[in-house]
Chains A and B, each alone.
Chain A
Amino acid sequence: MMKSSALSRRTLLKTASALPLTLAAPAVLRAGGEPLKVGVYGGYFQDSFDSFVYPEFTKATGIEIESIAVPTGEAWLIQLQQAARAKRAPADVSMMATVSIMRGMRTGLWAPLDETAMPNVSNILPTLINRYDDDGLAAVGAVSWYVTVATNTDVFPQPIESWAELWEPKYEDSLGLLALVSNSYLLEITAKTFFGGTDYLSSDETIREVLAKVAELKPNTRLWYRDEAQFEQALKSGEIPIGQYYHDVTGLAAADGFPVRSNFPKEGGLRESGNWGVARVSDKIDQAQVFIDYMSQPSVQAMLARNLGTAPNVARESMDLTDEEFAAVSSDIEPVIPRYDLHFERTDWLNQIWAEMLQA
């Protein structure tokens, strides 16, 4: 959800300067039919999709795309739900955070999709597929990204090998961590690191036990950030030399010459995803399925990894990414996956115990 602002700015400038301007030409209405409306996060994501994805898609399928900027957070879900009541679809296909997909599923916002019409969806990792209770396909993984331990190498030259190192007293008052239970996913990271896995978060007692372990990070944490720019700037300058941050953005900063490194801990980086959902009220479900099928091809996933810096949602062997290209966006280490089910079902309770832990 926070991804678009994380990636915008410099990353955008970097990619934008590299593209031929002709690719950025707006989609032209095809005679006789309206274009398929596709919504992705405004800013970096939308600009990249406008440049790299939509023109190629139209060339391959003949389906025109109207690009829609989608706000981050849950605002777009609210707008889609209100529009659905009026039988309107402000976008036919939308990229949504997993918890938002689940909320939409509860109200039946997403059209059940036909898997036989989308053979390439079988490439997508099974954890990135959301189904209705009656087995109908509700959403398909679009893109993923990693959060790892970012360090300033001037201050801490040695690589970080485990999330557990964040708890070491030598990092007193040095960490930058995301401020919310629903974007730091520190419960999951801590459960995987110290309690054998995220399955440990199974009851109120065990969640509180893991939370108490997270609370031990407080003396080490200088900044609990909501705004990525604030931490990124502090990380680059060494003001806050270590913390959790986006793998790809850290890599780009390192490539720009800043003394920073993204460290993949042995417990795995935190992997988050955006998903494609199709509005049930859309009258272009067939075209939407063509789009999702196209996006699920290994070659397109590899292209996204190269041009957008997103982690591919398909098996590594199925793509032609070099080791270097793969390492820039992903890792073979089993990732930490957020317990989206928990965040969906216990939103208010998790938020409350987290705030009490942090602000006490």
Chain B
Amino acid sequence: MIQSRPRTPLGYLPILLPAFALIAFYIVPFGSMVGMSFFHNLGGGAYEEVFTLENYARLVSPFFLSVLGTSFEVAFLVALFAIVIGFPFTYLLVNARRGTQVFWLIVMLSVLSLSEAIIGFAWSTLLSRTAGIGVLFEALGLTEKAQSYAPSLGAVLAGVTYIAMPYAVLLLYPILSRIEPDIEQASRTLGASPLRAFFNVIVPMHRTPIVVSFVMIFVFTLGSYLLPQILGRPTNWTLSVVISDQALLQSNMPFAAALSIFLMTVTILLVLLVTLINRKGAKA
């Protein structure tokens, strides 16, 4: 690709619109959130525009750290499941017939069109004692009596993984579809079984895309607040649930803003750390 700087100021014109959009729709709202996090809450959505650190002082507590821990636990496990299921699935998909590929991609895209509330209710019914797999397991004799599997951590993970899966597939699809078929054939010629070729050749080759997809799903999942409410017990409620409670139900905007910035800062640090480790690992 040929890159050159514009020779006249006019040449910068095409990037003015995106730059303006970025400032107006991203930097300004974000800046106002940062400002908000230092205001004093008066209750009922009212706040005083004075500088205070009280919102940050409140969140530095064992309680919020443990809620943050819950958020990371859910996001980590969901990202893990989404990649562990999504990577082999996508690998099989890119090697499948065109028609099969189109079918599954449409299925994946249509999942994205469902509202989270609908998905939450569907999973809670599916995992229920009275109408869900509880009844099925009892009929099959797997359990003595029909049981309920929601609300629970497992239910939250199932629901959120369901939402994250299409993202995993859509992230990995373009990368995996560029694999040369020769690579697998070559490893097979050298005596590797299909499974061994997959784990010892294909997976290590895609180390960086896997890490990048993992991090993207992890960050995406951190924002999930509806499914942990519907499918989880209070111990499974994530920091995003607490933020939405503060903003929507307690109308404490300054504290909600401080919690959001806290979550974001820790997330950015974590992503930087992972990127750094991955880069070192790739060099080694």
Contacts and interface: CB of A to CB of B under 8 A. Distances in A.
Contacts of A24: none
Given A222-B151, A237-B131, A239-B148, A359 B67 contact: yes
B242 interface: yes
Contact of B230 (A73, A230, A347, A352): A230
Interface in B214-253: 229-230, 233-235, 237, 242, 245, 248-252
Contacts of B251: 73-75, 78
Contact of B43 (A222, A223, A227, A347): A347
A230 B229 CA distance: 11
Contact of B234 (A78, A103, A358): A358
B121 interface: yes
Contacts of A360: 63, 66, 235
Contact of A239 (B45, B128, B237, B249): B128
* Interface size range of chain B in the complex: 20 to 34
A35 interface: no
Contact of B151 (A223, A233, A344): A223
A107 B46 contact: yes
Nearest to B237: A359
Interface in B60-86: 63, 66-67
Interface string A301-316: 0000000000000000
B63 A356 contact: yes
Contacts of B281: none
A233 B67 CA distance: 29
A348 B41 contact: yes
A176 B63 CA distance: 24
Nearest to A347: B43
Contacts of B245: 180
A224 to B, nearest CB: 6
Contact of A359 (B63, B229, B230): B63
Residue among A107, A183, A344, A355 having the largest count of chain B Cβ atoms under 10 Å: A355
A77 interface: yes
Chain A to chain B: the 6 pairs with minimum beta-carbon distance, closest first: A103-B44, A78-B45, A74-B251, A358-B234, A359-B234, A237-B130
B213 interface: no
Contacts of B252: 347-348
A355 B242 contact: yes
Contact of A182 (B66, B124, B235, B249): B249
B150 to A, nearest CB: 9
A198 B44 CA distance: 23
A347 B46 contact: no
Contacts of A233: 121
A213 to B, nearest CB: 17
A151 to B, nearest CB: 15
B248 A73 contact: yes
12 contacts: A73-B251, A74-B45, A74-B251, A78-B44, A78-B46, A81-B45, A222-B148, A223-B151, A224-B234, A226-B229, A234-B128, A359-B63
Interface in B1-60: 41, 43-46, 58
Interface in A215-229: 222-224, 226-227
Contacts of B43: 103, 344, 347-348
Interface in B148-172: 148, 151
A351 interface: yes
Contacts of B250: 182, 347-348, 351
A100 B45 CA distance: 10
A223 B252 CA distance: 25
Contacts of B67: 359
A226 B252 CA distance: 18
Contacts of B249: 73, 180, 182-183, 226
Contacts of A182: 249-250
Contacts of B128: 234, 237, 239
A121 to B, nearest CB: 25
Given A73-B248, A223-B151, A239-B130, A230 B46 contact: no
Contacts of B121: 230, 233
A248 to B, nearest CB: 23
B115 to A, nearest CB: 13
Contacts of A78: 44-46, 251
Contacts of A75: 45, 251
Given A352-B58, A356-B63, 17 more contacts: A74-B45, A75-B45, A103-B46, A180-B245, A222-B148, A224-B233, A224-B234, A226-B229, A227-B230, A230-B230, A237-B128, A238-B130, A239-B148, A348-B252, A351-B250, A359-B63, A359-B235
A81 B237 CA distance: 32
B63 A81 contact: no
A83 to B, nearest CB: 13
Nearest to B244: A226
A238 B129 CA distance: 9
Contacts of B234: 179, 224, 358-359
A352 to B, nearest CB: 8
B44 A77 contact: yes
Given A182-B249, A348-B252, A77 B237 contact: no
Contacts of B129: 239
